[in-house]
């Protein structure tokens, strides 16, 4: 039977803490960018592109909006695979901290889900903008 | 007498297995979250470009 030495245990905890830090940074970045994009898209008019350069920018936005939706859906579906409000990320921390870890990581899970909801709003807002353009 | 030690062994064993088994999905998820950041950065740049032109019009 494999047992963790104190040194290994410390390394696991360091790894978990470092993962937490990375998660926090990524979540903050998603939130900041999502708010910026949402505010800017809400100011855009649903007008046709007035140049080839803008036409390409419109096409990139439509593609990136779909890519964003796809990535968010992959993350959420993999999180659902871990059940009970679990996020895939919680699976790495919970075994390390046992029951305490589940509650601890729950905060980050909620933060990640919140960031993903914002990212979903970006997709739906961009999709609405595309539909308005096409309806003109 | 050995029971608490056995419990600890089981706990440690479960923990070690859990760390090995779950590390990969967690890293994948973190990678996907970073993809979300990259896509949002691209969207931010393109939306700003369009906004700039629409403001001039």
B43, A122 contact by CB (below 8 A):
yes
Taking CA A132 as the corner, what is the angle to CA A130 and CA A136, rounded to the nearest 5 degrees? 115
The pLDDT of residue A121 is 93
Tokens of A112: 């990640």
pLDDT at B16: 54
- Count Cβ–Cβ pairs < 8 Å, chain A vs chain B: 133
Q: How many residues belong to chain B? A: 57
User: Which of B19, B47, B48 is opposite residue A12, by nearest beta carbon?
Assistant: B19
Contact A4 B15 (CB under 8 A): yes
* DSSP H or E segment with residue A90: helix A88-135
CA atoms within 13 A on the CB side of B37: 18
Q: Please state the ipTM of this predicted complex.
A: 0.74
Cβ of A78 and B29 within 8 Å? yes
Q: How far is A83 from chain B (nearest CA, A)?
A: 14
pTM of the predicted model as reported, rounded to 2 decimal places: 0.71
Distance separating alpha carbons of residues A122 and B37, to the nearest angstrom? 12
Q: Is the Cβ–Cβ distance between B54 and A44 less than 8 Å? A: yes
Considering chain A, what is the average pLDDT of its residues? 75
How many Å apart are CA B21 and CA B12, to the nearest integer?
14
Q: Identify the weakest region by mean pLDDT among A24-33, A93-102, A124-133, B12-21.
A: A93-102
Q: Are B38 and B46 in contact (CB under 8 A)?
A: no
Instruction: Answer yes or no: are the C-beta atoms of A91 and A112 closer than 8 Å.
Output: no
pLDDT band at A96 (very low <50, low <70, confident <90, very high): very low
């Amino acid at each position: 039977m494999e047992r963790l030495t104190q040194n290994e245990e410390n390394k696991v905890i360091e790894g978990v803490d470092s993962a937490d830090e990375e998660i926090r940074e990524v979540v903050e970045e998603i939130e900041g960018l999502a708010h910026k994009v949402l505010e800017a898209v809400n100011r855009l008019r649903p007008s046709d592109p007035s140049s080839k350069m803008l036409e390409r920018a419109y096409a990139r936005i439509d593609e990136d909006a779909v890519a964003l939706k796809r990535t968010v859906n992959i993350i959420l579906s993999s999180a659902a695979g871990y059940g009970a409000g679990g996020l895939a990320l919680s699976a790495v921390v919970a075994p390390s901290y046992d029951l305490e870890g589940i509650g601890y990581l729950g905060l980050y899970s909620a933060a990640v889900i919140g960031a993903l909801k914002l990212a979903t709003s970006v997709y739906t807002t961009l999709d609405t903008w595309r539909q308005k353009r096409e309806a003109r | 007498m050995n029971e608490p030690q056995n419990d600890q062994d089981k706990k440690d064993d479960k923990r070690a297995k859990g760390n090995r088994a779950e590390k990969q999905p967690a890293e994948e998820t973190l990678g996907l979250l970073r993809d979300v950041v990259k896509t949002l950065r691209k969207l931010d740049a393109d939306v700003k470009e369009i906004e700039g032109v629409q403001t001039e019009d």
